[in-house]
Chains A and B, each alone.
Chain A
Amino acid sequence: MRESRWTGFAFLLLLLGLWEVAGRHGWVHKLFFPPASRILASFVQIVFSGEVLGHVGASLWRAGFGYLLAALLAITLGVLMGYWRAVYEAFEVVVELLRAVPPPAVIPVAIVFLGVGDQMKIFIILFSCAFPILVNTMDGVRGVDPVLIRTARTFGLGQGPLIWKVVLPAASPLIMTGLRIALAIALILVVISEMVGATSGIGYFILDAQRSFRIPQMYAGMLVLALLGYGLNRCFLLADARLMAWHKGLTARQR
């Protein structure tokens, strides 16, 4: 595990070196592919001048708010749909249809109703994050063993405590899977939505840099996004490893 990470970093350095050389020797378009060192310098500059931090903050706020709302709604509905057949039958067609719509296609509609501000962006993130969480929660709840539910009932648990203390934890590994998929989607959609009418956010920053020919800054913005995505995913995996330690242990044993 350790070694493979070092080879990974070595390969990254090799690629950066190649980029640097290619940029300096004019093997690629000089303006469009500035050498890696210039991009890095630009990155340092936008980070330490604080220029990009405001944009990152705006993006994180939108993504985070939309993501949490999506989690709340989708887990609730997913539990209801997974647990009660009647709810599933009522919602299934609507959910399947909406799920099939690529979220960027909803942006024009959202603009009509919500304008181009934060509300629209948060709605788009909510819309796109909800489905992977919903579908996974539903599957997770459906997969809860009937023996476990009967056991809880024989101990006198009513529907509420049964869902809270038994169904949700039993379904939590799949709910976490849904949350992880949604995290990546939130980042994609916040950037897309910020490229459609915005004056802040990392998506806006990248597009603005490109439009005003600040090409190194455009790449630096992408680097910020890459690091942000990587960091968020690491944080998620850390939390996952803690919360789901029992599940890792259980599945490792069953293998």
Chain B
Amino acid sequence: MLEVRDLRKEFQPLSGSTVVALASVSFRVAAGQFVSIVGPSGCGKSTLLQCIAGLSRPTAGHVLLHGREVTGPPEGLILLFQEYNKSLMAWRSVLKNVRFGLENRPGMSRNQIDAEARRYLELVGLEGFEAHYPWELSGGMQQRVAIARALVRRPEVLLMDEPFGSLDALTRIELEDALLRLWESLQATIVFVTHDIEEAVYLSDEVYVLSRRPCQVIEEIAVKLERPRNQLTTREDPRFIQARHHIFELISKEMSRA
């Protein structure tokens, strides 16, 4: 359903020569899949997501959603950022932030929007916090609000740019499992960018490993681990360890490549 074909993105800095962020990135994501993208930091993962989300025009190549070329932010696709404290609206309560996800959807009454927003807040475990402001909540809870706001729109594709990158390890584990539960019940397609190899393997059906800049896909690794995943048994599974080992080697080889 989502296809990235020979995507290339160049930046022209104020001084100096052209920077090639993405050399030629190609991959496909099937409907309902959970795909992670890992790569050395600064390799252009965020740029890639912004191109897919239609927020940034690629220099060359195509992004196709259901076979249609993405030229602007497409309906049915939401990009969720790592910086929840910046992407949430500080002047809106938690409920109103989630409502924002539906406010420009035609044909929905105030009450319907309200009911949906409350339902999704409940799904992410934030019932009782509707009237709070986002900045009154912990980081993990803020990211839950952002997730609820994205999911309330029922996107077919959810792009996530290192969403748990700035959370502590325990909150992270909690949110990983919450995300998997939501993904399974909502049947969305998720493209998840992370620099955490274990997180990528734990969550995904498929892990795409990116090279250093200029970035391209160096390998696609299928993760054949049963679902539902479990923080203990999945992570102790020999296949998990093997996948982790392999991806780690790929990335460290990339990073040491001068």
Residues of A within 8 A of B (CB): 145, 147-148, 150-151, 153-157, 161, 165-166, 169-170, 172, 246-247, 249-250, 253
A169 to B133, CA, bound (A): 15
Q: In the bound complex, do residue B133 and residue A249 qualify as a contact, i.e. CB atoms below 8 Å apart?
A: yes
Annotate B85-97 by CB proximity to A: 1 below 8 A, 0 otherwise.
Answer: 0110111000000
- The listed residue (A153, A166, A172, A253) touching B73 by CB distance below 8 A is A153
Interface contacts beyond A150-B50, A154-B79, A250-B90: sample of 14 additional A-B pairs, CB < 8 Å, sorted by A: A147-B83, A147-B86, A147-B87, A148-B89, A150-B87, A151-B79, A151-B87, A157-B104, A165-B103, A170-B90, A172-B91, A246-B90, A247-B91, A249-B136
Interface residues on B, range: 20 to 34
A80 to B133, CA, bound (A): 29
Q: In the bound complex, do residue A155 and residue B78 qualify as a contact, i.e. CB atoms below 8 Å apart?
A: yes
Q: Which residues of A contact B133 (CB under 8 A)?
A: 246, 249-250
Determine if B248 is an interface residue (Cβ-Cβ < 8 Å): no
Q: In the bound complex, do residue B50 and residue A155 qualify as a contact, i.e. CB atoms below 8 Å apart?
A: no
A170 to B92, CA, bound (A): 10
Q: Which residues of B contact A151 (CB under 8 A)?
A: 79, 81, 87
Name A's interface SS: helix
Q: In the bound complex, do residue A150 and residue B100 qualify as a contact, i.e. CB atoms below 8 Å apart?
A: no
Q: Which residue of B lies closest to A173 (CB)?
A: B91
A169 to B100, CA, bound (A): 14
Determine if B153 is an interface residue (Cβ-Cβ < 8 Å): yes
A157 to B78, CA, bound (A): 12
Measured between C-beta atoms, what is the minimum distance from A150 to chain B in Å? Answer: 5
Q: Which residue of A lies closest to B75 (CB)?
A: A156
- The listed residue (B78, B103, B135) touching A154 by CB distance below 8 A is B78
The 5 closest A-B pairs by CB, nearest first: A147-B86, A151-B87, A154-B79, A145-B86, A246-B91
Q: Which residues of A contact B87 (CB under 8 A)?
A: 147-148, 150-151
Q: Which residues of B contact A155 (CB under 8 A)?
A: 73, 78, 100-101, 104, 153
